[in-house]
């Protein structure tokens, strides 16, 4: 591993630590604003590397940069009819004993004068704001970072100018195997029609072409058969006649899927770097949120693929989930790549933006100990209280999230196992950048 790769790995982890710190700040600020006593604000897990106390809160860094947390007093309410200033005997039963132990530990943090500063006594909407603050900070970071890349550096935009004419028809399956043209392969419609590099496509089948999206859509929807293609070659207008063939091609909306029997010409577009506007950033962010949400729904299936890659030697899918170790290795690969410095910086920013988006959406899963579980608890409390208010019934007590501790520990064990699998896979069979 070159020193550039090591530097890229370390730079990514610095950016990751900053993202974690801002995520926890998203919880800290509203918690303090609403009067909750916060005893710790930590970036990382494990032994403490450095800390300093200011007021009620200890701020610090820990040695394992795999997350962070803030510690708020009174997260678990006392049992109904219990004196919150007295500890009660632990009930029998393993799960009940676990719940009561956690409840007592939470109550021991509450000191005299802290009665109005405990988390569980805050209005439900304040709890929701506190716990949604972390993921919201990740979304803001992702948007800002993607905006820097799209508006500041720009992205490669395909233009309806021919960059290359494919000489022969190679199927998708053959391309995946690295198949090259042979005398047995037939020529592409573009090659037979006489298309050349730098030809600008201005019309297709009599319909105007203003962008590569226009050209690609018209080619695919035309299907097999003859068509007239209007071009400009060296500034001179020309019309070429081509006979398209039907091929299975990767979908424009989802490259992992195949569109069956679409029209095929056999040209690739010219890529031009263009800076985008704010509207494009909003649309791109919405599309990324949709894609990330779809990936989360497919997480169990994708983890099977990671297991097969880690222990069976299967090829690692470029879109498979990865740990911070894998993302760090990608950061190292970007730093060591033989590309301009500007592209490296844009690549780093985009990698960190994608990681923030994934962290933000994953944390919204409505299961404890994720933020989404706490948000769901707060919303449920609001629904119950709203229903009681409408029906003019006695106001129900606070939602007792302590009862969900067995599920919380089960989810925590799964998260630890998933993280361990991803870290191992990212060491033995990491995702590698194409090319």
Q: Taking each helix axis from N to C terminus, what angle separates 3-33 and 324-336, rounded to the nearest 10 degrees?
A: 130
- Show the 3-state SS of 211-235: CHHHHHHHHHHHCCEEEEEEEEECC
Among 102, 137, 37, 62, which residue's Cα sits nearest to residue 412? 102
Instruction: Kindly state the average pLDDT of the residues 26-51.
Output: 94
Residue 132's pLDDT is: 97
List the single range of 80-84, 280-284, 431-435 with lowest mean pLDDT: 80-84
**What confidence tens digit (pLDDT) does each residue in 121-176 have?**
999 999 999 999 999 999 999 999 999 999 999 999 999 999 999 988 887 677 76
pLDDT score for 434:
65
> 10 Å Cβ neighbour count for 96?
13
The answer to whether residue 342 is catalytic is: no
Mean pLDDT score of the chain:
88
Whether the pLDDT of residue 406 is over 50: the answer is yes
What is d(CA 59, CA 317) in angstroms, rounded to the nearest whole number? 39
- Give the 3-state DSSP-derived string for 263-316, with helices as H, strands as E and coil as C: EECCEEEEEEEECCCHHHHHHHHHHHHHHHHHHHHCHHHHHHHHHHHHHCCCCC
Sequence-distant (≥ 6) Cβ neighbours of residue 13 within 8 angstroms: 65, 324, 328
Q: Which of 24, 176, 256, 274 is catalytic?
A: 24
Q: Which residues contact 48 (CB under 8 A, 6 or more apart)?
A: 42, 60, 61, 62, 63
Query: In the chain, what are the domain boundaries?
Result: 156-274
Q: Which two tokens stand for residue 191?
A: 């090659």
Tell me how far apart the terminal alpha carbons of the chain are, to the nearest angstrom: 17
The pLDDT of residue 94 is 59
HSE (side-chain half, CA atoms, 13 Å) at 384: 15
H-helix segments, 148-247: 172-176, 189-193, 212-222
C-alpha–C-alpha distance, residues 91 and 341, integer Å: 63
Its CATH architecture, for the domain 156-274, is: Roll (2.30)
Query: How many angstroms from the chain centroid is the CA of residue 351?
Result: 10
* Measured distance CA(250)–CA(112) in Å, rounded: 65
Q: Above 80 in pLDDT, residue 111?
A: yes
| Mean pLDDT within 243-268 | 86
What pLDDT was estimated at residue 81?
A: 57
CB-based contact 225:246 (threshold 8 Å): no
What is the pLDDT averaged over residues 78-100? 56
Which residues neighbour 16 within 8 Å (Cβ) at sequence distance 6 or greater?
A: 65, 324, 327, 328, 352, 355
pLDDT at residue 1 above 60? no
Global pTM reads 0.83
The answer to whether the beta carbons of residues 32 and 13 sit under 8 Å apart is no
pLDDT at res. 20: 93
Is the predicted pLDDT of residue 92 greater than 90, yes or no?
A: no
CA angle 420–426–431, rounded 5-degree value:
145
Q: How many CB atoms lie within 10 A of CB 301?
A: 8
């Amino acid at each position: 591993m070159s020193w550039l790769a090591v530097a890229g790995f370390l730079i990514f982890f610095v950016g990751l630590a900053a993202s974690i710190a801002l995520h926890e700040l998203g919880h800290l600020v509203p918690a303090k604003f609403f009067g909750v006593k916060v005893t710790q604000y930590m970036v990382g897990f494990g032994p403490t590397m450095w800390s300093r106390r200011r007021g009620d809160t200890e701020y610090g860094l820990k040695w394992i940069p795999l997350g962070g947390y803030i510690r708020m007093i009174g997260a678990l309410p006392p049992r109904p009819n219990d004196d919150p200033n007295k500890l009660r005997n632990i009930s029998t039963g393993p799960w009940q004993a676990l719940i009561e132990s956690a409840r007592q530990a939470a109550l021991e943090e509450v000191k005299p004068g802290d009665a109005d500063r405990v988390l569980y006594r805050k209005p439900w909407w304040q709890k929701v704001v506190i716990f949604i603050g972390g993921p919201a900070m990740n979304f803001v970071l992702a948007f800002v970072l993607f905006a820097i890349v799209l508006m500041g550096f720009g992205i490669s935009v395909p233009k309806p100018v021919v960059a290359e004419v494919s000489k022969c028809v190679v199927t998708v399956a053959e391309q995946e195997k690295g198949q090259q043209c042979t005398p047995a392969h037939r020529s592409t419609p573009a090659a037979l029609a006489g298309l050349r590099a730098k030809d600008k496509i201005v019309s297709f089948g009599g319909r105007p072409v203003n962008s590569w999206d226009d050209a690609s859509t018209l080619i695919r929807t035309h299907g097999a058969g003859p068509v007239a293609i209007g071009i400009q070659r060296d500034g001179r207008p020309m019309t070429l006649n081509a006979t398209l063939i039907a091929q299975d091609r990767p979908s424009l909306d989802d490259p992992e899927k195949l569109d069956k029997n679409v029209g095929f010409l056999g040209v690739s577009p010219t890529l031009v770097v263009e800076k985008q506007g704010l509207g494009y950033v909003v649309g791109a962010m919405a599309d990324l949120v949709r894609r990330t949400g779809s990936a989360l729904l497919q997480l169990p299936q994708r983890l099977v693929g990671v297991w097969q890659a880690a222990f069976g030697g299967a090829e690692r899918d470029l879109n498979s989930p990865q740990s911070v170790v894998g993302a760090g290795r990608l950061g190292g690969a970007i730093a060591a790549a033989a590309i301009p410095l500007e592209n490296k910086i844009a690549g780093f920013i985009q990698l960190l933006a994608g990681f923030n988006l994934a962290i933000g959406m994953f944390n919204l899963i409505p299961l404890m100990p994720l933020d989404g579980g706490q948000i769901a608890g707060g919303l449920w409390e609001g629904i119950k209280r709203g229903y009681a208010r409408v029906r003019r019934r006695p106001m129900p007590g606070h939602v007792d999230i302590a009862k969900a501790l067995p599920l919380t520990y089960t989810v925590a064990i799964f998260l630890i196992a998933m993280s361990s699998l991803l870290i191992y896979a990212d060491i033995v069979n990491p995702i590698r950048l194409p090319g």
